[in-house]
Amino acid sequence: MITSLIHAFLGLMGQAGKALRQVLEAHGISQSSLAAALGVERPIVFRWFHEHTDPTAETVAGIVRVLQQINSTAAKEFIKLYLCDVIQDREIDLMTDIPHELPQSNTVNISVLSGLFTNTTNSYKYLFFISLLDILKRRQFDILSPISFREIIIEMLANAWYPHTYFKLSFGLQDKITEKLDSLKLEIGEPILKFTDTDKKILRKTIGNQHIDDIVTFIVRYVPFRLIRPFFEQELKGLKDSEVEKKILSLSQEQFEVKKPLYYFDANLYKDCKSIILHSEWVSYIEANYSIIRAWASWEWLKYMQKRNLNIPAVANKLFPPHERGGLNPQKSYWKLIFKETDIQCIYSKQALYPESFSLDHYLPWSFVAHDQPWNLIPTFAEVNSSKSNHIPDNDYFDEFVKMQHLGLLISHKIMGKQQWINYVEPYINDLRLIEENNLLNLEILKSAYESTLTPLISIALGQGFTRWSYR
């Protein structure tokens, strides 16, 4: 039941670690005890706890089972926090008997809805359905007017922009949505990059101002018709593939009150269709269960994307814009301590840095690693950081990067309390695969650890399309 629950409901946007940390701290459950009960090494739990790797759906199910054995209240709170973070709806009630499938209905066919994405080989259906949900919510589920193909395609492109443009995720070899997106040459400024446009208003407006008629024609040719194909499987048996769209068009109108598809089309001829008209009973069902349906669709979308980005870290964090980025105050405080003890020079510009005006740079860009772990952060100038953006530093900077990290570790080891220092450097030990904390103080060991950790990551990043950068 738990695995079915996770598969049915979780939109998984990288929030398992956040929920896990809150629950373990609130109930006094140690990472070690959880690791032992799960049968995994403690560093694995540590990485979940600090939100820079994602457990699979099956592992999340295992975490829930173990928490139920340790503390049933903690298990319920973990599920609630996880789901609420994912779907951003604090009103959902997840007390005891959580259903393991989409909510049933006496008016619409839920089993058909559950099969919308069966045998899907590209991103279009996922993006179309998720975009339809977004539009419905923004309209406050008012369906007095049809929803145009153009409005849906703009929403689809907006939903695809974040994982493609910012994180360079692959949508699959056969998929053309990213090619179409790139053809627009969108110029998105700082508001998007700083995640203030969570409703995609700026992005939708920017896309809408482009000439996208060819993209609309390309996507509309099959997607809106094939999405509702599961409602008419019996009627379509034996039909030639070239005849499917026209048949679905007529069936959606003729059997609108019998089979109750999600929608029908605004014209009798295939070439004249410009909009869809949603079935009122489906809209009522979606409105009543929106959070769960949106989470289910997001989970299906995640499963599709994970299969196409097998070696990419933190895919679940990269599908949807977060409502806010985590702050870097603890990391900045750490480097301010170092500044008090020594002078520091920017590894890129070779200029002296000052404690009152430095910026923290993600050596491997945040848009690749999707975390703020201290082993990847170094001080630099704000303008240098802005210039570097989401590029990979040239190899020439590597030695200086490691030396700066080593300098910080040596000084912090002297001035911090023992336990405080051990707590701070634990991400170094786990992520760089070091046996003990004292290895951090040996420059050669540290450099070797960085090389073995960063080399494959950089190779993956370059393969994704991230480019090298040197300061000019």
Q: In this structure, what token pair is assigned to residue 162? A: 């974040």
List, for residues 195-233, the tens digit of each pLDDT value.
455 678 888 988 998 889 989 999 999 999 999 999 999
Q: Give the model's pLDDT for residue 376.
A: 95
CA distance 246 to 231: 15
Q: Does the pLDDT of residue 363 top 80, yes or no?
A: yes
Fold of 2-87: 434 Repressor (Amino-terminal Domain) (1.10.260)
CA distance 345 to 146: 60
pLDDT category at 322 given cuts 50, 70, 90 is low
Give the DSSP H/E element, type plus range, for residue 150.
helix 149-161
pLDDT category at 118 given cuts 50, 70, 90 is confident
Q: Give the model's pLDDT for residue 277.
A: 96
DSSP state at residue 390: T
Q: Exposed, middle or buried: residue 333 (CB in 10 Å: 0-12, 13-18, 19+)?
A: exposed
CA distance 197 to 189: 11
Whether 156 and 131 have beta carbons less than 8 Å apart is answered as yes
Kindly state the average pLDDT of the residues 116-122: 88
β-pairing, 392-393 with 468-469?
parallel
Higher pLDDT, 7 or 150: 150
Q: In this structure, what token pair is assigned to residue 76? A: 């319920």
Q: Which of 201, 161, 195, 193 is nearest to 324 (CA)?
A: 195
Whether 236 and 248 have beta carbons less than 8 Å apart is answered as yes
Q: Exposed, middle or buried: residue 90 (CB in 10 Å: 0-12, 13-18, 19+)?
A: exposed
Domains of the chain, residue spans = 2-87, 110-318, 329-469
Whether 289 and 103 have beta carbons less than 8 Å apart is answered as yes
pTM of the model: 0.69
Whether 406 and 328 have beta carbons less than 8 Å apart is answered as no
CA distance 249 to 228: 10
DSSP state at residue 432: T
Q: Give the model's pLDDT for residue 6.
A: 39
Name residues whose C-beta falls within 8 Å of residue 36's C-beta, 6 or more positions apart in sequence. Answer: none
CA distance 343 to 437: 25
The size of the chain, in residues, is 472
Higher pLDDT, 9 or 62: 62
Q: Which of 454, 468, 461 is nearest to 376 (CA)?
A: 454
CA distance 40 to 217: 50
**What does the CA dihedral 276, 277, 282, 285 come to, rounded to 10 degrees?**
100
Asked which of 51-60, 184-193, 300-309, 402-411 is least confident by mean pLDDT, the reply is 184-193
Name residues whose C-beta falls within 8 Å of residue 346's C-beta, 6 or more positions apart in sequence. Answer: 352, 353, 379, 380, 381, 384
Q: Which of 243, 241, 294 is nearest to 129 (CA)?
A: 294
CA distance 11 to 341: 46
- φ/ψ region of 370 (left if φ > 0, alpha if ψ in -120 to 50, else beta) reads left
